[in-house]
Every structure is written in C-alpha cells, then in structure tokens.
Amino acid sequence: MVAVASRKMNCFSQRFRQTAPMLGSSKNELVPSKPPRRNGWSWPPQAFQVVGWLVYSYLTIVSFGIYIPLLPLPWKHVAYTLMGVAFIVHLFAHIAVLTVDPADDSVRAKQSYSTPMPLFDRTKQPHVIHDLHCYLCDVNVGPKVKHCGVCNKCVEDFDHHCKWLNTCVGGRNYRYFFLALCSATIGVFLLIVVVLFVFIQHYLNPYSLRTAPQFADVSGNSTWLMFLPLAPIKTSSAGLLILSFVTVMLSTTCLLLLSHLLGFHLYLYHKGISTYDYVKLQRQKEAKKRDVEAGNGTRNAKTHKAPQNQEASVDCEPSLSQRSSSCKFHDKNPFTSRLSESICTELENFKKSENKFRYGTENPSENIARGIALRDIKNWKPDNDEESQSATVKSVCSVPGVQDPLGSSIMTPDDI
C-alpha cells in the first residue's frame, strides 16, 4: 500500500504543459514538461535521423571504396571529382542545418534551454501564440513565427519540422537545408550512374574494369578487388553483382524521395510560400470542400422532402368523344378530395345524360325537364365567393366547367 501511494504521489508531483490546443476538444491535453530543443544535435536523436546517417555512410563507402576505383581512366578522376564535391557539400550543409538554432531572436536572447516550459492553460488563452505573443516562451514574436510542439520553442519564419534532421527548418537554416537537399540529390544520381556502368561493363567488357595495378596479381576474371588502392579485399563476381543490385535499389529509393522533396520546395519557392503556409491552404480548401458538400446534402434533403401543405390538385380528363371518362386525384386534403370526387361524379352523370339526350334514348317528358334545367343553369351567375371556388376548380381541371350553387352538376363550355 505504501509503494502504491508513493507512486501516485510521484505522478501528481510532475509538471505538465500543452504546446497547442487540440481542435474540437474542450479538455486540456497535458504532457510531461520538458526543456526545449536547441538544435538537431539535442538528445535524444530521432529514428529517421539515425537511418539517414546510416544510409549516407553506406553510400559513401560503396561509392569511394568499391565502384569508383573500378572505373577506367579518365572517368575515374571525373567521378572522384563530381561525387566528392557532392558528398562533401552535403556533409557540411547537413552539419550546418543541424547546428544552427532556428529559434526566434527574442527566444534565443531569453531562453536558457535548461528549464521546463510553463503550463499552458487553454481556459485562459485559446492558442499558444495570441496577438503576436507566445504564452509558453513568454515573448513577443513576429507574424511568421510558429511555436513548434516538438522542439518546444518559437521558430522564426517557420517552414516545417524535419524528422530526418531532428530539428525545425526556419528562416535561419533554410538555405543550408536546401543546399543539403540539392547536393544529396545530385550525389545519389551520380552514384546510380556509376553502379549501372560497372554492372553493364561486368558483362560486356570486364577487362575495362580491371585496370588497377593490383589486378595483376589476381588470376581469373571471377575474382574482384574492393577498397582499392589502400586496402584491397577480394570478392567474387556474385558478391559484387549482389552488392550492386542492393546499392541501385537503395539509391533509387533515395533518389525518388529526394527529387520529390526538391521539386516540392522548388514549387513553394515559385509560389513564394512556406511548407506551413501550403499545409494551411490545403486544410482550408478541404474544410471549404466539406462545407460545400454539406450544403449540397442539405439542399438535396430539402428538395426531396415532401411538402406539408400542398395545394389542391385534381386532374379531370373526361373524354368528349367517348362514353367513358376518368378523374385523377393528387391531393390528400379531405375537403378538396370530396369536392373533386363530387365534381367528377356529376360530370360523369351529366355526360351520360347528355348522350342520351342527343341520341333520343330518353322519353320526351324527361328531355323537356332536363332542357329547362339546363336553361336555368345558363342564366345563373355566381357571387364573389362562389366565383372564387369556381375559379379554383377551373384551374385544376383539364376541362373547365361552371358549377351551380348546390354543386349538383357541371356544365362544360361545349354545352353552354
């Protein structure tokens, strides 16, 4: 019990901080406090940084220790010169970008890089940098300064945080970063050309690769020498070809990554923006696209939604040349539905009676009575309210008619 209580007390005794608020979260996500990083040499190194050093060391060894010494003259001297310049420039540029502190001037003037950063309280400030003041570094900064959450400091003209260099790339070390990127791309490209030349000549003309004096003591073409001329080590043709294949694959992968990154930064230079600005613009475009899609979805939902109050719609299609007729109802209102049904029913009855009257199928007394009723209906004129109701019926029926006050019959224009 004492040990458990002691561990809990140790957990609560730690200081916490948050470098930036999380979007869409109302809680303070606190992490253990730590001092800011000075540059790329700060401990501990990143995994990508170690991988980069190992790849650079391997390519340097196989270039100047195995493949360039096998080249015939004068290509050997040309390769030594060009690749030597590329690898040396990359080495010094790489060291420079790691050594230079990219922090803002006010941070470098105040920061000792030995004390932990203070706690960031989101309830008091919405962002780490607000109104050109960093509440973690406690300094006033410029408009292009960003507080890096990994390095835990404000970086001047922030571009991005590079995991391969284990430091931020900003205004103070961007030129060294770009120079290291260009030199690495050129060096890897030249190495691929040299290895492919050795690989092809091994099958076409192996004697052109055995011009070094040390090959005079080697019998047979199946034995090759590495690390000429200082420390010759014998190897077989299979070993040389397998090593060439591995080197070409690794160099091609590096060339694709480096050329893509170089092309991207050339594009940013052409646009006059930084990597951070590009990321912000892409996020804004994605947010705008989501808003547009959400707006279209809302409009489509409203369009497909059935209206609650729909006007009366009656489609009456009586056939004047036939004995049968049909009425179509499209309204669910009880009153208008009953009214329309009554109208169409009377219209059907009248058409039947009309046909009987015309063809003489009724007796004379019924014909006389029906003719008097038709004359009375012709002479009747509706008032204002009944005129509005009649107008409504006319607007929804395909065959207009006149309704009497009792709604007992309908006269078509042909009968009036």
Residues labelled catalytic: 162
CA-wise closest residue to 84 among 66, 53, 67, 60: 60
Cβ–Cβ under 8 Å, residues 31 and 159:
no
Residue with tokens 């990154």: 261
The backbone torsions φ and ψ at residue 154, rounded to the nearest 5 degrees and listed phi first, read: -80, 130
Q: Can you tell me whether residue 70 is helix, strand or coil?
A: helix
Q: Can you tell me whether residue 410 is helix, strand or coil?
A: strand
Residue 202 token pair:
């091994």
The backbone torsions φ and ψ at residue 299, rounded to the nearest 5 degrees and listed phi first, read: -65, -40
DSSP state string for 119-166? PP-TTT-SSSB-SSEETTTTEE--TT-EEETTTTEEETT--EEETTTT
Residues belonging to the chain:
416
Q: Is the peptide bond prior to 229 cis by the omega test (within 30 degrees of 0)?
A: yes
Cβ–Cβ under 8 Å, residues 113 and 38:
yes
CA-wise closest residue to 254 among 2, 60, 26: 60
